[in-house]
Amino acid sequence: MLVIPVKDGENIDRALKRFKRKFIKTGTLKQLRARKQYIKKSERLRIKNQKAVYSEALLRDSE
């Protein structure tokens, strides 16, 4: 659970901005989306390998 203490006289927009930044850093939304459906371990590894091949190709092409 994220807790953002709001200081006296602090603008609510500034506190919301800190909340959003902290929310993104913790990866909560990413975790929620990942848990939405079950993905087998073999499928996760296959996707990970595909991403690695793609990023390697991008690096190779840029050189």
The residue extents of the domains of the chain are: 12-62
Confidence of residue 2 (pLDDT cuts 50, 70, 90): confident
The one-letter code for the residue type at 32 is L
Residue in the block written with tokens 């807790």: 3
Number of residues that make up the chain: 63
- Name the pTM for this structure: 0.54
pLDDT tens column, 35-57: 999 999 999 999 999 999 999 99
Distance (Å, rounded) from C-alpha 40 to C-alpha 3?
Answer: 33
Sign, Cα dihedral of 59, 44, 25, 12:
positive
Token pair in block for residue 4: 């953002």
